[in-house]
Structure 1
Amino acid sequence: MAAQGHHKGLDAHGYIEREGSPARVPYAFGPVVAAARDRVLDVFGTRLDSAYLYGSIPRGTARVGRSDLDLLLSLRDEPTDADRTDARAFGAALDKEFAEIDGVGTLLFSRERLLSDLETHDLGWFVACLCTPLLGEDLAGHLPRYRPDTLLARETNGDLALLLPRWRERIAAAADTDEARRPLVRSMSRHLVRTGFTLVMPRWNGWTSDLGEMAEAFGAYYPERAADMRNAAARGYGPTGEQAVLRAYTDDLGPWLAAEYARVHGIKAPRP
C-alpha cells in the first residue's frame, strides 16, 4: 500500500497524516473491533481513559486469518501487573472467538506518560499519527503536529543498541524449533525494517507503515544493505524460523544499523 496523503504520507503543510481511520477497517474485521470496544470497557471500566486501534486493521490492509488485532489503551493511572494479566486474558479470549484474527496485542500506558514531555516524540507521536481512536478522548488534541525529522527519528528508534542484548536473551531462551523462532523472526524483522526506514526518513521526507516501501526507501540510501532490508521486510510478513536469520540480525545487520543510527541521529533519550 503506497503512502497516503499529498506526498508520502504528509499533508499539504509537510506534517505526518494520521494513517488509520474507522472507515478503513475492512468489513470482515468489523465484528471483532466491535467486540474489542465493548470488552475493553467491561474489563477496565472507569479506569480507562481512551482506547485506540493501530496496525493493519485500521489501515485497511489486514488479511483475514493472518493479521492480528493491535490495541493501545490509555489508563487514568499507571498500569499494574493485574491490568496486564487482564489484558492478556481479554486478548486470548478474542483471539479464540474470532477466526478472522491471528492474535491480539494490547499496549497499556497511563495518560500521564503518553502526554509527558519525554514521550512527545515517541509514544505521543505514535498515538497522534499511528493510532485510530476507538473509545474516549483522543489524546492527539493535546499533542503537536509531527514532521519526519531527525528528532522524531532519534526518539522513535534510537535505542536499537539497547535492544540487541535483550533480543539475544530471548533467542537463547526460545525452544530450538522453527515454530518457537518464527514469532521472533517476525517481530525482529519488522523492528529492523522500521528502524532502517526511520534512519532515512528525514531524507526521504515522508512516512509509510508498509514494510516493503520502508525497505525500498532505505535501500535507495544504503544500496549495500538493500537486499538485507528487503529480505527482512519479506520475513516481517511471512516469517521463517531459521536460527541463521536471527543470528544475522543480532550479529550483523542489527549492530551495523545501531551504529549507523547513532552516527546519523544520535541516541534516544534514556527512559526511567
Structure 2
Amino acid sequence: MDGRGLERDGTIAREGALDRVPAAFLPVVDAARAHITETFGGARLHSAYLYGSIPRGTATPGVSDLDLQLALHEEPTETDRADAKAIEAGLDRAFPQIDGVGILLTSTCVLLRDLERHDAGFFIACLCTPLLGPDLAEQLPRYRPTALLARETNGDLALVLPRWRAQAVAATTDADRRTLSRLVGRRIIRTGFTLIMPRWGGWTSDLDQSAELFGRYYPERAEQMRTAASIGRTPSSDPVVLDMLIDDLGPWLAAEYTAVHGEKAPRP
C-alpha cells in the first residue's frame, strides 16, 4: 500500500486488519465476537466486521468507540435491532477503554445489490475488517478513487441536513449535543474528503489528514473543516459549533458536492 492508501494497481487498499488492533482493545474485540456469536449465531448472521479506528490501529483508550457491521441473512427485524442494542450497552458498560458502541445491521442482499455497489459494497470491501463468517468482499470488485465513488458514498448530504437540524433542536442535554456533534463532524469531514478524493487520487479515513487535504483545494473553508475533524474525534456540547456545521459548512458543502459530482442515486 502506498502513501495514498492504494495498492500497486491503483485500487483502494483495505484499510484495517485484526493484527492492527491495539492491545488495549483486544479484550473488547474478543468480547464483541463472543456476544455476536452467542446472540445471532449462524441462523441470523452471515458475517460480522469491525471498522473505524480500532481495526486501523489508531484508537485511543477512553476516547474511541467500537464500530461493528453485521451482515444478516435476512432483512433486520425489531428483534435483531433490540439484540444489537443490548450488545452495544453491555460492551459499553464492561469496557472503559471504549466511549460508545455502534452496530450497523444490514442484509447481505442490500450489501451486494448493484445500487449499493459504490456505497455499502465499497464500505464492506475497503473500510471493514472481517471478524466472523465469510467475507463479502470476495463477491465485490476492486475500487478506485473516482467521481462515481465520490457521488455514491456521500452525494446525499443535502438529504441529511434537515434531520440534523431537527435533532439539534430536540437536543436538550449536553450529552445529546455531544452525540450529535460527533455524528455530524464525522459525516462532514468524510464528505469534505470525498469531494476532493478524485483530484487527490487516493483514500484515507484519517480525520486530520482528510481536513488538511480538503484545505489544499478549499482554503477558505479549511478552518471549519479542521473543526469538523476535531469534533469528530472529541465531541462538543457547544450549540454554536453545531450551528456552524449544520447551517453554514453543511449547506455549502452539499451544494458544492452536487455541482462537482452530482447527486447520489435515489434509494427506495
Q: State whether TM-score is above 0.5.
A: yes
Structure 1 residue runs of 5 or longer lacking an equivalent are none
Match of 1:145 in 2: 142
Q: CA deviation at 1:186?
A: 1.3
Alignment of 1:120-139 (within 5 A): 120-139=117-136
Match of 1:47 in 2: 44
Q: Distance in 2 between matches of 1:233 and 1:150?
A: 23
Match of 1:10 in 2: 6
Q: Is the 8 A contact 2:63 2:234 kept in 1?
A: no
- TM-score normalised per structure 1: 0.96
Alignment of 1:11-160 (within 5 A): 11-45=7-41, 46-160=43-157
CA RMSD of aligned residues (A): 0.9
Among candidates 139, 155, 177, match of residue 181 of structure 1: 177
Q: CA deviation at 1:48?
A: 0.4
Q: Residue 42 of structure 1 aligns to a residue in which SS?
A: helix
Match of 2:232 in 1: 236
Q: CA deviation at 1:231?
A: 1.4
Q: Could you give the per-residue CA deviations for residues 186-211 of structure 1, whole angstroms, max 9, x where no partner exists?
A: 11011101000000000010111110
Q: Distance in 1 between matches of 2:90 and 2:246?
A: 34
Match of 1:247 in 2: 243
Q: CA deviation at 1:185?
A: 1.2
Among candidates 219, 223, 227, match of residue 223 of structure 2: 227
Q: Could you give the per-residue CA deviations for residues 94-132 of structure 1, whole angstroms, max 9, x where no partner exists?
A: 111112211110000001100000000000000000000
Match of 1:210 in 2: 206
Q: Distance in 2 between matches of 1:70 and 1:165?
A: 25
Q: CA deviation at 1:179?
A: 2.9
Q: Residue 269 of structure 1 aligns to a residue in which SS?
A: coil
Is 2:129 the partner of 1:167? no
Q: CA deviation at 1:180?
A: 2.3
Percent of matched pairs sharing the same residue? 63
- What is the one-letter code of the residue matched to 2:61? V
* Higher alpha-carbon deviation: 48-57 or 94-103: 94-103
Q: Could you give the per-residue CA deviations for residues 12-70 of structure 1, whole angstroms, max 9, x where no partner exists?
A: 11100000001001111111111111110111112100000001110001111211111
Q: Distance in 2 between matches of 1:139 and 1:53?
A: 13
* Higher alpha-carbon deviation: 143-152 or 91-100: 91-100
Q: Distance in 1 between matches of 2:95 and 2:220?
A: 43
Q: Runs in 1 of length 4+ with deviation above 6 angstroms?
A: none
Q: Distance in 2 between matches of 1:22 and 1:78?
A: 27
Aligned length: 267
Q: Residue 118 of structure 1 aligns to a residue in which SS?
A: helix
Q: CA deviation at 1:223?
A: 0.8
- TM-score normalised per structure 2: 0.98
Q: CA deviation at 1:7?
A: 3.4
- What is the one-letter code of the residue matched to 1:99? P
